[in-house]
Structure 1
């Protein structure tokens, strides 16, 4: 079992925060000669706005890198057999690093992709309900923000409900898994609740526009209407 010394935990959280804080969207748009992504569209450094400024290809690369910077810290912690509550703490720190990027005066993205990456590393199967809700809502409403908000709120529910096999057995020389992991401690579930609330809070402007009916859809925005998602 890895050390649970407070100093060890703090160093791990700082490393996760640093990993999450890398503003890939900003860097890629500048390298592509498109200027500062924050000066265009919604001003966000995430994949959606990068797609608007630098094209779909650049947006896809940004999405994958933002997912990776949430995935990596939690994946390494899981491989090292860290307790699940510490894994969840690293997930929160990586997401917070993206949201509060110190290199951009603590003004970063909305944390959706980074939280997704962390969740995939923590328990990939628990992401399926959130991902399904996201796809369904975007398909029905064309609002990425609405799908992101509902998907984020569903994530801690999935983390607390979905179990996974962990017990290993040797069958004819082949190692297989059997059994179900016990429910995560409340501390881990609570940290996923904080992650969800952080993502939702960063969508406060989108929520206001959704309530007013002025949020721009993923496609088919009115001519001359500035995109906000």
Structure 2
């Protein structure tokens, strides 16, 4: 029962709408109706200003780290920490309290990996940077680079469970990047 409650808490932590709250507080805007409509740090930077953006970024990182920390510390199932990564990103990307609108999950993933698998971070970032240098688009690079997560997470944590969980997490993030892929292919996106 405790593991179920921790899993539910991971999702609910993900639903804390930092970009929405900071956008309302600093600019009086509904971030869902501004710019890209994305409820995340990049849109917050662009639409609500630097302070709102940096606070959103930090809050989203903390959300991911907190979810994994609590599930690691208090959970009994060995898969609960990696499941919490998926759940916190699911809550962030598809927020039940904001009509299932949300961010793209990268900052929450970063926070999650800081607790679950910090050695994975530089490898995944390296892949993203290489792709960004080739395609000249950071959003596309993030969406494609995340495909390396299952490999590095599987190697670091040693097992198919982590590889498969990494695939599920990658797909969850990639889905939110599909509009960026389409825009890039149509030549409407440049290096951000």
Does TM, normalized by the shorter one, top 0.5? yes
1:65-124 CA-partner distances (Å, limit 9, x unpaired): 111101111122333475542111111110100011011011111111112211221010
Query: Structure 1 pair 140/63, CA: closer, same or farther in 2 (3 Å)?
Result: farther
Aligned to 1:72: 66
- Checking the alignment, whether the CA contact within 8 Å between 1:34 and 1:53 is kept in structure 2 is no
Count of aligned pairs: 192
- Checking the alignment, whether the CA contact within 8 Å between 1:110 and 1:202 is kept in structure 2 is yes
What does 1:8-157 correspond to in 2, within 5 Å? 8-80=2-74, 82-138=76-132, 141-157=135-151
What secondary structure is seen at the aligned counterpart in 1 of 2:117?
Answer: helix
Give me the whole-angstrom Cα distance separating, in 2, the residues matched to 1:82 and 1:156: 23
- Checking the alignment, whether the CA contact within 8 Å between 2:131 and 2:141 is kept in structure 1 is yes
Give me the whole-angstrom Cα distance separating, in 2, the residues matched to 1:187 and 1:100: 24
Give me the whole-angstrom Cα distance separating, in 2, the residues matched to 1:9 and 1:24: 26
What secondary structure is seen at the aligned counterpart in 2 of 1:44?
Answer: coil
Offset at 1:146? Answer: 1.7
> What TM-score does the superposition give when structure 1 sets the normalisation length?
0.77
What secondary structure is seen at the aligned counterpart in 1 of 2:39?
Answer: coil
1:5-35 CA-partner distances (Å, limit 9, x unpaired): xx33321111000001111001001001341
Give me the whole-angstrom Cα distance separating, in 2, the residues matched to 1:64 and 1:142: 26
Question: CA RMSD for the aligned pairs?
Answer: 1.8
Give me the whole-angstrom Cα distance separating, in 2, the residues matched to 1:54 and 1:33: 6
What secondary structure is seen at the aligned counterpart in 2 of 1:203?
Answer: helix
1:210 maps to which of 151, 174, 184 = 184
Give me the whole-angstrom Cα distance separating, in 2, the residues matched to 1:82 and 1:148: 33
Query: Structure 1 pair 142/30, CA: closer, same or farther in 2 (3 Å)?
Result: farther
